[in-house]
Structures are given as C-alpha cells and as structure tokens.
Amino acid sequence: MSKKLLFIIGILSFCITAGVYWYYLSEPSTLPKKEELKNRINRVYSDTEVVSIQDTILLDSRHLYVPFISKNNDYGSSFWVWKKRKWEIEALNDVGQPILWKIDNKDPSSYRIVWNIHPEDQFKAAEFYLSRDRGYEITNGIEFYYPKVQLNKEFTLSEKSYRIKKLPRNWASIIQSTNNIHNPDRMSILDGDNAEHSLLIAWKPVFDKKNGDDIFSKRSISGGGFSNGGDYDIISLVEEHQLENQQ
Amino acid sequence: MLVINFYFVNHFPSVLMDIIAFIIIAILANRIYKNQEEKPKIWKVLLILFIGLFAFSFTLPVYDTFVKIPILPLGVWILYFVFRNKVEKWMMYRRFAWLGFLANFIFLVAAFASFPIEEALYPQDKLSTYIARTDQANIFALHTSAKEATLKKGVLNKQLSEMQPEPIDSQRWYNDIVNIDVPQEERKEKFPFQIMGTEPRWGSALKTAIFVERDGKGLLITTQKKQYYFRSNESLVKGVE
C-alpha cells in the first residue's frame, strides 16, 4: 500500500513541478500578431489610438519592444514581457523619447536604450551622456571625494525611426561598480543628498551644423504613458550646465 | 531585537570567530547535557538554545561597525512562560535556555576578537589589502577630458607593496576644480580614470571602486565605508605624461 502511495506522490509532485515550470518559466514560441498587439494597446491605453505597429523586436526570449504610430501621428514605444504564458504589456510611452529599459536592474549589461524618434525630427545622431556630479563629504573626520563622471556616446540615426542600443561596456562597468560600493547605512548618516552622487544618463540631439536647430520639433520628447512593474527610466535632455569643458 | 548578526559570509575573520563561538557553545551544551539526569531530545535542545538566543539589545557603534549588546533575556522569558505549569520540563530545559542567552555574549566576544584579526590580515594602510589580484584589471576613462590610456600592469603589480597612503583633502580637491578664478583649461577632473576588474584580498569582504589620478600616480580607493589615497613615484598608466 505504502509503495503505491509513494508512487502517486511521486507522480503528483512531478506534475506540479512540470506545471509550475511550464506556467512560470517556459519560453514563448510565437510572437503576437501586429493586429493583436494594436488592439491590446488600444484596450489598455485610451489616451492615444494606435493605427499601425511598426515592428516587433525581441531583446531576449522574454522581452519584446514594439514601436508604433498613433492616430495623431505620434511615434511611440511599448514594452512587452512574457509572463505566465502570456505577452503582457508592461510599459508604454506615447512618444518615442529615449528610455532606459533595465531588463535586470541588478545587471547594467542588460540595460537597453530604446527610442522611436519622430521623422520630423531630422537630426543626424543622438548623443548620450553618462554623468555624475563631482562632490565631497567630510563626516567625523572621514573624507570622501567623488570624481566627476562625464562620458558621451553618439549613435547615428538610421532610416528606421526606432532603435535599441546596449550601454557601452565601460558604462555598464561604471554603473555596476557604483552600485557595489553604495552603502545605504553610510549615506543615511550624511545630510547630503545621495542622489547627487548617483549616475545619470541624459541625451541631446546632434544636428548638421548648417541647418541649425529648427528641425528639433520636440514632438518626440513630451508625452504620456504608463508602466506597471519593470524598471524604466525616461532619459531626459542633458542640461548644458551639467557638462564640463571637454578638451 | 535579535542579537543574531548577519555578516558577509565572505568575511573571513567573522566566519572564523563565529565557528569558534559555535564550538564553545556546543561544548557547553554537551557538558550540561551530560551532567543532567533527565535527557531531553537533541532537536528539542537545539530549539530551546535557539529561542534562548532571543534578547532585547542595544546597538553600539564600535570602530567602523556596530555591535549589539544584549540586555534582557527575552527568549528565556518566553520559555519560562511556556513551561509555567510544567515544572519538571522547565527544570530539564532551563540551563539550555540560559545557555542560549549566554551565547549572545559568546558571539559578542567573538565579534570583538575578530577586530584584531581583521587589522592583522587586512591593514588599512596597505594597498595590497584593496588590490590583491590584477589579472583581469583594466582601465577606463571617466571623463571626456581624459586621454586614451592603458594600464601598466607590471608597474601596478610592483607598486602594490610600495605605494604609500596619503591624506585625502577632499574639500581642496573639489575647490581647486570648481574655482572660477582659475582658467578653465587648468581646472580638470583630478581623478579621470577608474581601474576595474581587480580583486581585494581574499576574505576581506571589501568592495572597491578605484579611481586613478590624472598623472597616473595616485589611486583613490573607495570602499563601502571609507576612502583611501595612495601615491606612487611612477605612473601606472600609459598615455599620460
């Protein structure tokens, strides 16, 4: 009798494990149809109406980027994640300003810069900056000096309005090492604002000099959106006062 | 409330002293067990010891860290309350409960005893504490004003035992760069590089960010608790003059 019981328990636990695995960990075999994506965005987000899905780009087996065009001719971004055997829309921005998608927020090498710049904005490249303000602290005789971080990386725009870029390898290392030495205990003792010492990513458009800046319509940078879960940072325009001499 | 301390498991002095503390507690428990007429089940002894550990304590800053000093034997009280109507059982478990409370002090002594080991193994004024392995080492610019640079690994390895600590003058370093009376081309970031991929000494549980001075001769080591500044007499970086 007990052998039979053991056998049943064995079968049951195998089924449960397999079921849990299938439900939570299995990978998608197909991408949703564009028509379906369009309908689903329009169902969950009423501020805009998607008229066309431009593309579906898999970042890895579970993360999907879907750029779209809406009724009032805005170029937007939507972010999809495979969860519990379904493609869920995790975040959306109704204009295509650059967004930092932290796919695994503990691992900066998984971070992606994603944008969908409106074709009216005809600048030739987007320049991204990694920066941190210089700072110093003296607490109970313990001195700290934080060097200024200021790096830039230019990505030329292609004929497609949307693009996905990895962070440069050294940026990912710098972010990782900053996270490693971050000590919330020590920071809380100080009255200084610890955001001051944190790294920031910002960007600015790069124009062909002869045409001036009249082609920056800015329609790519002010929009609405939502996110439920995930880790997304909107990458804002760089403020010139944050930049130092670069020779 | 609990005195049980969560330490970095890769911190060798803490692990070593805690193992010794466990051995002492085991010896004491064994002695109580042998001298007792009534022998409780072993797993019950372990449970009583664990509950006995619960204590009200206050936290005291010592050196760079915090220690918890136990004052009130909360776990013993709980057990006393549980066994209030079972005197024989309480007589059987009483000593183990108090040993649990005593264990707090044994761990406390162990924590203090780990400080001199820490000092001996990981001297704060030696660069080799923070950089022990360099085979994966690499240098990156942190600032657009820094030139392309490569790390002279041979020089770095040689300098690990030779570089001397110097005081950090953070306020002056900062002010020298932001001072608008000085022409802008002379006000450049003092530490425009970072060395990545080095390992601190085994068992130190240190995490480091290593900034490199513009002339290639200074290292500013940042750990989670402190910063240390070391100078060498030759440049560690190829590409700076």
The DSSP secondary-structure symbol of B180 reads: T
ipTM of this model?
A: 0.81
Cβ–Cβ contact A194 with B under 8 A: no
Say if residue A17's pLDDT is above 60.
yes
The beta-carbon neighbor of A147 closest among B169, B171, B191 is B191
A62-98 tens-digit pLDDT: 999 999 999 988 999 999 999 888 899 999 998 989 9
| Residue of chain A minimizing CA distance to B139 | A170
Say if residue A212's pLDDT is above 80.
no
| Residue B228 burial class via C-beta count within 10 angstroms: exposed 0-12, middle 13-18, buried 19 and up | buried
> What is the mean predicted confidence (pLDDT) over A188-195?
42
Say if residue B3's pLDDT is above 60.
no
> What is the mean predicted confidence (pLDDT) over B220-239?
92
The whole-number pLDDT of residue B2 equals: 35
B121-170 tens-digit pLDDT: 999 999 999 999 999 999 999 998 888 889 999 999 999 999 999 999 99
Q: Which residues from B are below 8 Å from A when comparing CB atoms?
A: 140-145, 168-171, 173-174, 177-178, 184-185, 187-192, 194, 196, 207-209, 211, 220, 222-227
The DSSP secondary-structure symbol of A47 reads: S
Task: Return the H-helix or E-strand segment holding A35.
Answer: helix A34-44
Task: Work out the widest C-alpha separation in chain B, in whole angstroms.
Answer: 86
> What is the mean predicted confidence (pLDDT) over B177-205?
88
Measured between beta carbons, the chain A residues lying within 8 angstroms of B189 are 134, 147-148, 150, 244
Contact flag A244-B145 (C-beta cutoff 8 Å): yes
Measured between beta carbons, the chain B residues lying within 8 angstroms of A151 are 141-144
Q: Which of B224, B226, B230 to mutate: most A Cβ within 10 Å?
A: B224
CB B170 within 8 A of CB A136: yes
CB B216 within 8 A of CB B235: yes
Q: For residues B123-145, b (16+ Cβ closer than 10 Å) or e, as one string?
A: eeebbebbbbebeebbbbbbbbb
Which of these, B209, B207, B137, lies nearest to A175 by C-alpha position? B209
The whole-number pLDDT of residue A29 equals: 77
Q: Half-sphere exposure (CA, 13 Å, Cβ side) for B105?
A: 7
Say if residue A191's pLDDT is above 50.
no
CB B209 within 8 A of CB A180: yes
Question: What's the pLDDT band for B4 if we cut at 50, 70, 90?
Answer: very low
How close A2 comes to chain B (CA, Å)?
27
The whole-number pLDDT of residue B106 equals: 94
The DSSP secondary-structure symbol of A33 reads: P
Measured between beta carbons, the chain B residues lying within 8 angstroms of A178 are 209
CB B177 within 8 A of CB B189: yes
What is the rounded average pLDDT for all residues in chain B? Answer: 89
Residue A107 main-chain phi, psi, to 5 deg: -125, 95
Measured between beta carbons, the chain A residues lying within 8 angstroms of B191 are 145, 147
B58-106 tens-digit pLDDT: 888 776 677 788 889 999 999 999 999 888 889 889 999 999 999 999 9
The whole-number pLDDT of residue A240 equals: 79
The domain segmentation of chain A, as residue ranges, is: 2-242
Contact flag A150-B143 (C-beta cutoff 8 Å): yes
Say if residue B22's pLDDT is above 90.
yes
Hey, is A37 helix, strand or coil?
A: helix
Q: Which of A150-154, B63-67, B200-204 has the lowest mean pLDDT?
A: B63-67
Question: What's the pLDDT band for A214 if we cut at 50, 70, 90?
Answer: low
Q: Rounded CA gap, A107 and A180, in Å?
A: 11
Return all residues near A106 (Cβ < 8 A) that are at least 6 apart: A179
Return all residues near B16 (Cβ < 8 A) that are at least 6 apart: B114, B117
| Residue of chain A minimizing CA distance to B227 | A144
Cβ–Cβ contact A56 with B under 8 A: no
Chain centroid, CA B77 distance in Å: 33
In 3-state terms chain B splits into helix, strand, coil percentages (rounded to 5) of 40, 20, 35
How many CB pairs below 8 Å do chains A and B form together?
91
The whole-number pLDDT of residue A2 equals: 78
Contact flag B173-A135 (C-beta cutoff 8 Å): no
Q: Which of B189, B212, B219 to mutate: most A Cβ within 10 Å?
A: B189
> What is the mean predicted confidence (pLDDT) over B172-198?
88
> What is the mean predicted confidence (pLDDT) over A33-38?
91
